[in-house]
Structure 1
Amino acid sequence: MKTIKYVLISTSIVLLMSACAVVRQGEVGVKRKMGKLSPKTIEAGAQVFNPFTTTIIKLPIRTVNVEILSNLPSKEGLNVQSIISILYHIRKEEASNIIENIGTNYEEVVIKSVFRSASADVCSQFFAKDMHTIKRAEIENEIRKRMSELLANRGFEIEAVLLKTIQLPPGLYMAVENKLEAEQEAQRMEFVLQREKLEAQRRMLEAEGIRDAQKILQEGISPQIIQWQSIEAFKQLAKSPGTRVIITDGKTPFLIQPDGGN
């Protein structure tokens, strides 16, 4: 009985001195024991630890989307208000270094701060209207590249930077819309002119073909051929039944069909 009692007491003490942390999918854990971080990361699953000496710090390694409302500076000195999405993830092998060198509030300390610096550098090279046209993707890609350079050794991977909402000043927005409409109209007119040009070329080729055909016919019909064809016509008329009156100068026959003739 005493042995069983001692076992129960010992088990109770162990349980009281132990805790369990669950690291979920898309996370890694880092163990901090007596204030010292372990360089080894804990994969998804349950982890038992001593709560009096150890804590488990969990960081997400899945893709994280952070949205920032920011005023982006333009080349002409305007501030363009925009909502930006930054997609990034943590390299799990760097989780311990991130906690040690930056802390768990890395999003405010590093991600957003680096974005503000990178976006200011990139957007200041573009006009405000560029953020609302096809150059938008180029701006997004340049900001992503700049952030990746600044965070290369920090343990973060920047997947994408997306300018979701762009609010241009009212006057500039109208100017951009008018410019786009003018460009579309110019493209439409260019298409119409190109079509008319092709149609004119087709007609010219057709006219040249008719002219060449007539020229060939004119060159191919000689007086001798006409006289030969007249003789052949006389022969055919002579063979036909009925009475025919033919008036000719020997070159071109003129046929008179008597009334009632076959």
Structure 2
Amino acid sequence: MKKNNEKKISLLHPYGLILFILRTLLDWFKRYSITIILVTIVISASTIVLWPKISVHVKAGEVGVIFRPLSGGVDTSALAGEGINFKFPWNSIVVYSTQIQKHELKIEIITKDLLKSIVTVAFQYEINRDTAPLVHRYVGEKYLDKVIIPTVVAITRGQISSFTSEKAFSDEIFKLQKEITVQADTGIINNISPPGTSAIRLIKISQIEIIDIQFPPDVQKSIEEKIAQRSKLEAYEYIIATELKEAERKAIEAKGIKDFQDIIQTGLTNNYLRWKGIDASSKLANSQNAKIVIFGQGTASLPIIMGDLEGSPIGKNLQKDLEKIKKMDEGVKY
């Protein structure tokens, strides 16, 4: 009776309750330890083995299409987003990239003038995230090989074969690239639209570029020589055009000078010129610089004004002559 009371009292104590629970668990574990270990091993092994079957990792820029073989096949109403996605082992999730991707391919083409060449084409493509289940249902994972490449090859050959090699690969190349891109994108929309629908964009081609052209060696050499000669001809034409413009400029300048002289000549009378000469001589004579003024005898003649005589050869000779005249006046013999 005393022991039972002590046990009741100990259970009422908080620490006593904890000890009681621990002892109970320990006793239970001792009795079922083998079973617990076996169950743990089985669960762990099953998880390791089945993990690839029950989970799918979808990376950034990707989307998962869910296929339910027991309930309707491709699920067009739900997608597996980025991250870890769990599923039943009998279901499958096919991952598609929704990022812009790039692909290059070489196409053998015969132009309108029967020149055989190899054209390297690069293009960018992407699938529509929302319509990825339709791509999986009507085209499949190999949509690049099944749809995109055949369409690009067919459109590229059809466009380039309608031009000569010179026109297709020189003057019209940028126009061709744009036209090929538009037609290839439209062709994919028309070719893989689900039955009963029209103009649903499942895959988009954003840009097609012709990045390399390979001709036969002899043709390549002749083309390079022709391009070099054409460059020289264009340079000569530019020089000729420049010279013609320069000649035109000089002709205009000469005409302007002639017109100016004609206008001036009509107003230059003898009285006007004589008056301008007298006015200029008067201003020079009144200046403070040292000078010699020589007046002529005629009424129409203008004075000759010489300045800075000391520094010029004429002034020095004139000064010597004046000294000689002065000495002769004084009776000095030479």
Q: Same fold (TM over 0.5)?
A: yes
Q: Give the secondary-structure state (helix, strand or coil) at the position aligned to 2:60.
A: coil
Question: Are positions 1:92 and 2:129 aligned together?
Answer: yes
Per the alignment, residue 20 of structure 1 pairs with 55
Query: Contact 1:17–1:50 at 8 Å: present in 2 too?
Result: no
Amino acid in the other structure paired with 1:252 = S
Query: 1:211, 1:218 → 2: CA distance?
Result: 10
Per the alignment, residue 8 of structure 2 pairs with none
For residue 230 of structure 1, report the CA deviation from its aligned partner.
Answer: 7.3
For residue 170 of structure 1, report the CA deviation from its aligned partner.
Answer: 2.5
- The structure 2 residue matched to 1:76, chosen from 107, 110, 113, is 113
Per the alignment, residue 251 of structure 1 pairs with 300
Q: Deviations over 1:205-258 (max 9, x none)?
A: 33223323332332222133345467779989999x99967322x333587x99
For residue 22 of structure 1, report the CA deviation from its aligned partner.
Answer: 0.2
Q: 1:225 to 1:104 in 2, by over 3 A?
A: closer
Query: Contact 2:59–2:83 at 8 Å: present in 1 too?
Result: yes
Per the alignment, residue 136 of structure 1 pairs with 173
Query: Contact 2:293–2:303 at 8 Å: present in 1 too?
Result: no
Question: Are positions 1:65 and 2:102 aligned together?
Answer: yes
Q: 1:42 to 1:214 in 2, by over 3 A?
A: same
Per the alignment, residue 184 of structure 1 pairs with 231
Q: 1:91 to 1:251 in 2, by over 3 A?
A: same
Identity of counterpart residues, as a percentage? 20
More relative contact order in 1 or in 2 (CA 8 Å, sep 6+)? 1
1:131-170 to 2 correspondences below 5 Å: 131-152=168-189, 154=192, 155-170=202-217
Computing the radius of gyration over CA atoms, which structure comes out larger, 1 or 2? Answer: 2
Per the alignment, residue 104 of structure 1 pairs with 141
For residue 110 of structure 1, report the CA deviation from its aligned partner.
Answer: 0.8
- What TM-score, normalized to structure 2? 0.65
Query: 1:243, 1:17 → 2: CA distance?
Result: 126
Amino acid in the other structure paired with 1:76 = D
Query: 2:165, 2:293 → 1: CA distance?
Result: 96
Per the alignment, residue 56 of structure 1 pairs with 93
Amino acid in the other structure paired with 1:158 = I
- The structure 1 residue matched to 2:79, chosen from 41, 46, 53, is 41
Q: Give the secondary-structure state (helix, strand or coil) at the position aligned to 1:183.
A: helix
Per the alignment, residue 9 of structure 2 pairs with none
1:118-129 to 2 correspondences below 5 Å: 118-129=155-166
Q: Give the secondary-structure state (helix, strand or coil) at the position aligned to 2:189.
A: coil
Amino acid in the other structure paired with 2:256 = G
Any unmatched runs of 5+ in structure 1? none
Query: Contact 1:34–1:54 at 8 Å: present in 2 too?
Result: yes
Q: 1:235 to 1:254 in 2, by over 3 A?
A: closer
Q: 1:99 to 1:211 in 2, by over 3 A?
A: same
Query: 1:109, 1:238 → 2: CA distance?
Result: 105
- What TM-score, normalized to structure 1? 0.81
Comparing 222-231 and 65-74, the one that deviates more: 222-231
Question: Are positions 1:29 and 2:64 aligned together?
Answer: yes
Q: 1:37 to 1:230 in 2, by over 3 A?
A: closer
For residue 85 of structure 1, report the CA deviation from its aligned partner.
Answer: 1.9
Higher share in helix? 2
Amino acid in the other structure paired with 1:251 = A
Q: Give the secondary-structure state (helix, strand or coil) at the position aligned to 1:247.
A: coil
